[in-house]
Amino acid sequence: MERMLPIAVVSLVALACTVARAAEQPLHVQCVYHAGHGLRALAADFRRSTGTRVEFHLHCREHFTPSAGSLKGRDLYISTSPENLAKAASLGLLAGDALPIGRVVPIIAVMKGNPRGFRTLSDLAREGVTVSYPVTCIGNVALRLVAKNKLEATVKPRMTIRTGNRTGVLVPLAEGKAQAAITWSCAVVESGRRDIDVVAIPAEQNVIDAVQAVVLKSAAAPEPARAFVAFLRSEPAIAKLRRYALHD
């Protein structure tokens, strides 16, 4: 019995080392850019409570195709594209169903105080109004938004500045080159600008996409990935996501 004790001790030390190495292994998340700002803040909270570090690998929704190669080495996939999630599922890359953790909402951004008094999308058709919208995926969502509300003949001609990304599109507005901009509400929060106000678009007129998370079959750390998704769906996380305009 005494001769076996050192072996048992060595085994326990080896197990402890294995657990420690597992704890040091980061969680790799493939995530759309526009949700990354708020989710990084939540990841910091998750690390403080669990010790698991989360590394984000960000991509533009319009320029990312899910495949075994593009998701290689990732534990979790977070997307706002139903088409991309469906493709990943059809390729057998998902370990379960995608779960909603929030949403992204297009809005009309205006200068502080809303000097032109914009209230609806149709107001952007006024004479002398220039609208900016991004070249990135929210820009294409803005075009879908205009088409959905049958404003191609009235508002679309005012959309003459297509520049910047979700936050950069606010620059022409601040410089006085545009009187309104279309972007996501979370982008205004991300920009940190205090000189911008938001005009909400009614939900029935809007194009709102869910932010969804799903664990990948290739995950090296499936349990921490599932734990992170559960954390993002918890009440404390939801409260923080609201502050980043990523939740109702």
- Tens-place pLDDT, residues 202-230: 999 999 999 999 999 999 989 999 999 99
Do 10 and 89 belong together in one domain?
yes
Do 150 and 233 belong together in one domain?
no
Do 50 and 97 belong together in one domain?
yes
Q: What average pLDDT does the segment 193-201 reach? A: 97
Tell me which residue range forms the domain holding 190: 106-205
Look up the pTM and report it.
0.86
pLDDT digits (tens, 9 = 90+) for 45-68: 999 999 999 999 999 888 899 999
Do 221 and 138 belong together in one domain?
no
Domain count, the chain: 2
- Asked if residue 248 is part of any domain, the answer here is no
Distance CA 165, CA 6 (A): 61
